[in-house]
Structure 1
Amino acid sequence: MRLQGKTAVVTGGASGFGAGIARKFVAEGARVIIADLNGGLARDRAAELGSAAIPVTVNVAENDSVAALADVVDRDFGHLDILVNNAGVTHLPKPLEEVGDDEFDRIIGVNTRAIFLAARHFVPAMKAAGKGAILNIASTGGVSPRPNLTWYNASKGWAITATRSMAVELAPFGVRVNAINPVAGETPLLKSFMGEDSPEMRAKFLSTIPLGRFSTPEDIGAAACYLCSDEASMVTGVCLEVDGGRCI
């Protein structure tokens, strides 16, 4: 029960890596606000996890929506111990000049602006409390980019730099900030990364991962639990690769 008594927000917590993080956090004793654009799926996930999970419909790219989430946390829980910026999107693999304006704007909104907005609305209370853990889910794409995913890769590189800068700035206030860089995983985004979900394309992707498998929500949940727990009280500014050795 490493997170006993702690309150956490997990954006994009209804599916994929976010669901794995939410599940692990509840198992370790935390109360978890599952903040997701898909309100129905968030409610289903919360029902699965029990009374410690609370669904909230949120558009992480919109200021007013994130502000409303912060109001819910303040009203119903009084404080926030852990913030996980997990929500993320990508564009289909294509030459960088062929990505459309709407695709680009969506990537910037969900993968970068959302971290900025969450910091705006949750960091002041963490600073006042003198404690807190923030975790940004970035990607190996921000470290070792794959071709034809340039603007997605760039957004995750931004998240990595933001993590390190946030860690330095917030350390004097007792707030830790880390990131996880997952390799492609068994999530709804996998097909989007590959362009097509075929045995041949899976084999091509797996050939770049030394351990020979995709990451899973459970892998990311376990790493997130450590980084957000008191066991990691001396860990900040770390961007942990959970990638089966891909970035070696």
Structure 2
Amino acid sequence: MERKKAIVTGASRGIGRGIALCLAREGYDLAVSYATQEESAVSLAKEAEERYGVRCHYFQASLEQPGEGVKLFERCAEALGGVDLLVNNAGVTRFENLLDLTPETFHLLVELDFKNYILMMQAAARHMVEHRVRGSLINITSSRGERAYPGDFLYGGLKAGLNRAIQSIALDLAPYGIRVNNVAPGATRVREKGELQQGDGMDFWEELGARIPLERAGVPEDIGEAVAFLASERAGYITGITLRVDGGLILPGMPEHLEETAAPEGWGRTESAFAKEVLETDN
């Protein structure tokens, strides 16, 4: 049986790499893009091919440049011999107060984090309609599309815009059997341990993870598993959703406990008398 074919943008490291490897495990031939990390892209391709026996092509693309996304799609589709799945992952995170926003930041985020996603979805959808492919489009957004933080009005606003946009796009493409969904990561370890540390040497992600309801930061494979599921036939009746994968990060509201004995997570954990009794009995 012919293997399915997927494009993953921004896959040389971090979340994109996790997505690409999960899809390779599921048997997809891949075409991935990178902006500057060619060595990492070569490493990814080698790992995907050696571990899972799939083909993995890699292409450099500066997707913030007008027209580059569509050119990339055409190169990937030609190399793969078709496309069943597009994963828009490449993006950049910038936080600026409204009072400090520069035209350069505004242009970069709009072009890369929103416009390129839309135009690549259009290119992929046209390809799928033309070739009668009942395919899937998946975008990586962010939990910041649902929860506001200081300084993220532009980044979070664009992610929120994508969350809303795909609802209408899903309706546009449903008659052709094309499903459209988003995955919204929360705090995800996108650098190797030690690359981001606090001044006291503590691992940043471990410290942050303790404040998340499921008590750990996410890893790229968490996002990859969500993408693999949404792209599969198991999710064949799902379209137009944004699946948040954040360990419960944004579920709590404002902290309600101000006492010194309050939980260090800030939002405060409730204690179950039932659970306490059961756990003490086990001990």
Correspondence 1:137 to 2:140: yes
Correspondence 1:187 to 2:190: yes
Identity over aligned pairs, percent? 29
Moved more, 5-14 or 155-164: 155-164
Secondary structure of the residue aligned to 2:180 is strand
In structure 2, which of residues 179, 190, 195 is the aligned counterpart of residue 176 of structure 1? Answer: 179
Moved more, 232-241 or 125-134: 125-134
TM-score (norm 2): 0.78
Partner Cα separation in structure 2 for residue 173 and residue 247 of structure 1: 35
Cα 1:126–1:155 change in 2 (3 A) is: same
1:76-225 alignment runs, 5 A limit: 76-92=79-95, 94-128=96-130, 129-188=132-191, 197-198=197-198, 199=202, 205-206=208-209, 208-225=211-228
Q: Tell me how large the CA RMSD over aligned residues is.
A: 2.5
Secondary structure of the residue aligned to 1:117 is helix
Corresponding residue for residue 48 of structure 2: 49
Moved more, 125-134 or 23-32: 125-134
Secondary structure of the residue aligned to 2:67 is helix
Q: Give the superposition deviation at 1:203.
A: 7.3
Listed one character per residue, the Cα deviations across residues 161-192 of structure 1 (whole Å, up to 9, x for unaligned) are 1221211111111100000111011014999x
Higher RCO, Cα 8 Å, sep 6+:
1
Q: Which runs of 4+ in 1 moved over 3 A?
A: 188-191, 199-208
Q: Give the superposition deviation at 1:115.
A: 0.7
Unaligned runs of 5+ in 1: none
Corresponding residue for residue 240 of structure 1: 243
In structure 2, which of residues 26, 31, 39 is the aligned counterpart of residue 33 of structure 1? Answer: 31
Write the letter of the residue equivalent to 1:47: K
Write the letter of the residue equivalent to 1:172: P
Q: Is the 8 A contact 1:82 1:134 kept in 2?
A: yes
Cα 1:212–1:61 change in 2 (3 A) is: same
Write the letter of the residue equivalent to 1:112: F
- Rg larger in structure: 2
Partner Cα separation in structure 1 for residue 192 and residue 161 of structure 2: 19
Moved more, 153-162 or 204-213: 204-213
Partner Cα separation in structure 2 for residue 63 and residue 164 of structure 1: 25
Corresponding residue for residue 11 of structure 1: 9
Unaligned runs of 5+ in 2: 252-283
Secondary structure of the residue aligned to 1:180 is strand
Write the letter of the residue equivalent to 2:118: F
Listed one character per residue, the Cα deviations across residues 59-85 of structure 1 (whole Å, up to 9, x for unaligned) are 223343223323223423332000000
Partner Cα separation in structure 2 for residue 144 and residue 175 of structure 1: 29
Q: Give the superposition deviation at 1:123.
A: 1.3
Partner Cα separation in structure 2 for residue 49 and residue 140 of structure 1: 29
Aligned residues: 241
More helix by share: 1
Partner Cα separation in structure 1 for residue 179 and residue 98 of structure 2: 34
Partner Cα separation in structure 2 for residue 146 and residue 189 of structure 1: 25
